[in-house]
Amino acid sequence: MGYIVLVRTPGATAAAFDAMLEDLVARQGWRHVVKAYALAVLVKGAAPLPVLPLAGAHGVGGVLLGRVFDRAAGEAGEARQPQLDGLVDLDPIEAVSRLIQSAWGGYVAVLAPRRPDPPVVLRDPTGQVEAFIWRRDGVTLIGSEAPRGLAAPLGLAIDWRRVGDLLDDPRRTGAAPPLSGVLGVDPGECRHGVGAGESLRLWSPARIVRERRPPDDPADALRRWVDVSVAAEASDAETMLCEISGGLDSAIVATALARAGRRPTGAINFYRDQAQGDERLWARAVADAIGVPLTTVQRSPFALASDDFAFGATGLRPSLNALDPEYDRLLLAEAERLKAQVLFTGHGGDVVFYQLGAAEIAADILQGAVTEDGRLRALGDVARRTRRSVWSLARQAFWGRRPTEGAASRERFVVHAARGVAHPWLDDLQGLAPAKRVQVAGLVNSLNVVARTRRGAVTRLAHPLLGQPMVELCLSIPAPILSAGEGDRRLARRAFSDRLPALVAERRSKGDITVFFGKSIAASLPTLRPMLLDGRLVAEGLIDKARLEAALRPETLVWKDFYGEILVAAALEAWVRHWEGRIAEGDGETVAGVGAPPGVAGARADPGRAASRNANTRA
C-alpha cells in the first residue's frame, strides 16, 4: 500500500526528476499512476491506495491519496464521495482547511497548483495514511516509506534521543519518527513553505472537545455515524473479512456491516487454552446473528524467532502493531484464503465509547459534568462496576494513582526518561476534564493501529470506530454520558442493544491474554536474551543491562509483568539494526551533475562521511 509523490520546481531539476522515476519503476517495482507537468505519483503493493488527481483551471494541481467521503452526506446517513472540483483553484491553505471541514476519510492531500511554490501537504486527522517528506536534487518527495536508490532520503541518521523516548513511552510512535533526514506529518497537520518547514495544525482532539457541542440525541447520532462509517469502509469491497473478538466493539462493527447489506465473506476469532482467553461463545453468537461463517483459531504460546520483527523494522517509524508476529501471519493467511479486500476490526471502541479510567470519570462527575441519572447515582454505578468504594474513587480522582501502581516502575530496565509530551495532541489539554484528557491519550495510543504489518500489506485494514466523524462525535459527548453506568460503554450498549445478541450486549467480563503473552515471552528467551543483552539499545545506554538480564529470567516473568516492555524493546532493537545497516550501505546515490538545495531532510550527506553515517544523532 505504499505511495510516493514527486513534485519538482521548473527548470534544471527535470533530469533528476526523470531519473528518479525511471529508477523507481525499472529497478524497484513501483507503478506510475499519475504524471502531470512536474508532478508524478507512484504506488506499490497488493492493495494500493486509490489516487485521485485534482484538476483545476490550469490542469492537475495536486493529488489526493486514499479514500474520502462527504461530511454533509454522512450527516444525512449516506456514505458518498465529495465533490472536489475546483479545490486546487483555491489558495492551498484554504483548500486543505475546507477539506478537513467538509470531508473525512483516510487520506493524504498534496496540493501544488503553482510548481515554483513548495507543495502543501495535509494528512487526515485520523492518520490512516502515513506521510513523510524529504527533498533532494530539487525534487520534493512525499511518501509512506523511503525507497532506495535515486529517490532515497539523504543524510539519514538514528535520533537516539527519540529512540529512548519511544522505549520509555511507546505512545510516541505516532509522533516524530526517530530518524533525522525525513519529516513526519502528524495527523491533522498541514506542512507547507520552503522545505515543508512551516506547520499548521488544522485539527486536534482537544479543539473538538472545546468547540463541538454534544448532539441532542447521542444514541441516535452514534447509530448514524457507526452505520455511515462502516458502510463507507465497505463501499468499494466485494470480499471482506471481519475479526470478531467476542467483545462489544467488534460486534457493533459486524452487525453494522450486516445492517448495511454488506455481510462479510467470513469472520475469524482467536482463542487460547485459558478460560480468560477463550471468547468463542460470544463470537459465535455474533457470527450466527449476521449469518457469517466463523473460523476459530486456537493460539498456543509461541516462541519468537530472530527475524520475526524484520517486517515492521523497515518502516520509517518503528511498528508496534505487530508485536505478536504469529497473530499477524494468521490474519494474513485468512485474508489471502478468502481473497479479502478489506479486514474489519473493532479497534478504537474502547477509546471512543470510553472503556477507560474510572477514577477520571469520577473526577468529571465530582467537577459537575453532565450525567443522565444524577451525580450520586452515577458515582455509585461506577464504584459498583469497578468493585471499589466511592471514597476510593474520589481519593484517586483528586490525588492521582494508587500507591501500588508506582512499584513496578522502580524496577524497570529502561534507563532513558522521555522528555516533553508524547504527542502534539497532548500539548493542548488546557481546560479539558480529566476523563477527556484520558480519552485524548487513548486516541494517541490508537495511532499505532495504522503501523506497518504483514496483513496490511495485502489487504486494506478498516477501523471504522476510529474514523474522524466517530472520534469527533464521541469527543463531544461528556464521558459520564458515554460510560457512567454500571456497565462500561453504557451509551454504546444502549444504542445498539436491539442489534446485538443479548449475550454480548449484557456481557460484563473481558478477555485477558496476559498469561498467554507471559508464556510466549518465556518461550522466546533463547532469542530475546542475546538479541537484547548484546544489542544496540544496551550499548547506547538506553537500557540497564543488569536489570534487563534479571527481567529476562523465567522466574521473573512468573511474577513480574514486563511483557509489553520487553516486546517494545525487541521491536526497537530490530528497527535500529535495520536502519543502521541501511545507513551504513550509503543508500541514496546522487544524480550526476545535479545539486541538492537545502531544505527539509534535503542537505546532501558529505561523501567523505560514509564511514561516519552510523555515528548517529543524539540531541
- What is the CATH classification number for the domain harbouring 21? 3.60.20
Q: Are 214 and 481 in contact (CB under 8 A)?
A: yes
Q: Is the pLDDT of residue 4 over 50?
A: yes
Residues 440, 524 share a domain: no
Q: Are 171 and 568 in contact (CB under 8 A)?
A: no
Residues 526, 491 share a domain: no
In a domain, 552, yes or no: yes
Residues 477, 563 share a domain: no
Average pLDDT over residues 124-141: 96
Lowest mean pLDDT among 154-163, 300-309, 508-517, 596-605: 596-605
Residues 379, 236 share a domain: yes
Mean pLDDT of the chain: 88
Strand ranges of the sheet holding 51-56, from the earlier edge strand across to the other edge: 51-56, 59-70, 103-111, 120-123, 189-192, 198-201
Q: Residue 370's domain is classified under what CATH number?
A: 3.40.50
Overall number of domains in the chain: 3
Residues 559, 439 share a domain: no
Which residue in the block uniquely carries the three cell numbers 495544525?
A: 201
Q: Percent of the chain, pLDDT > 70?
A: 87
Residues 499, 536 share a domain: no
pLDDT, tens digit, for every residue of 544-579?
999 999 999 998 887 888 888 999 999 999 999 999
Q: What pLDDT, on the 0 to 100 scale, is given for residue 390?
A: 59
Residues 81, 140 share a domain: yes
In a domain, 601, yes or no: no
In a domain, 123, yes or no: yes
Average pLDDT over residues 525-542: 97
Q: What pLDDT, on the 0 to 100 scale, is given for residue 504?
A: 93
Q: What pLDDT, on the 0 to 100 scale, is given for residue 287?
A: 98
In a domain, 174, yes or no: no
Residues 378, 262 share a domain: yes
In a domain, 197, yes or no: no
- Residue 349 belongs to domain spanning: 207-510
Please tell me the distance from the alpha carbon of residue 486 to that of residue 357, in angstroms, as a whole number.
14
Domain finish residue from 114, 135, 154: 154
Helix (H, G, I), strand (E, B) or coil at 420: coil
In a domain, 419, yes or no: yes
- pTM over 0.85? The answer is yes
Residues 278, 324 share a domain: yes
Residue 99: alpha-carbon gap to chain centroid: 21
Domain finish residue from 451, 483, 510: 510
Q: What pLDDT, on the 0 to 100 scale, is given for residue 376?
A: 60
In a domain, 199, yes or no: no
- φ/ψ of 446, rounded to 5, equals -70, -15
**Who contacts 526 (Cβ-Cβ below 8 Å, separation ≥6)?**
303
Helix (H, G, I), strand (E, B) or coil at 200: strand
Q: What pLDDT, on the 0 to 100 scale, is given for residue 584?
A: 93
Of 373 and 528, the structure prediction assigns the larger pLDDT to 528
Residues 544, 421 share a domain: no
First CA to last CA distance, the chain: 33
Q: What pLDDT, on the 0 to 100 scale, is given for residue 512?
A: 74
Please tell me the distance from the alpha carbon of residue 146 to that of residue 491, in angstroms, as a whole number.
43
pLDDT-based confidence at residue 250 (cuts at 50, 70, 90) = very high
Residues 326, 247 share a domain: yes
Q: Is the pLDDT of residue 340 over 70?
A: yes
- Say which DSSP state 593 is in: T
pLDDT-based confidence at residue 24 (cuts at 50, 70, 90) = very high
pLDDT-based confidence at residue 391 (cuts at 50, 70, 90) = low
Q: Is the pLDDT of residue 388 over 70?
A: no
Please tell me the distance from the alpha carbon of residue 71 to that of residue 104, in angstroms, as a whole number.
6
Residues 554, 430 share a domain: no
In a domain, 414, yes or no: yes
pLDDT, tens digit, for every residue of 408-462?
455 789 998 888 888 999 998 999 998 999 999 999 999 999 888 999 999 999 9
Domain finish residue from 133, 154, 175: 154
Lowest mean pLDDT among 35-39, 372-376, 483-487, 600-604: 600-604
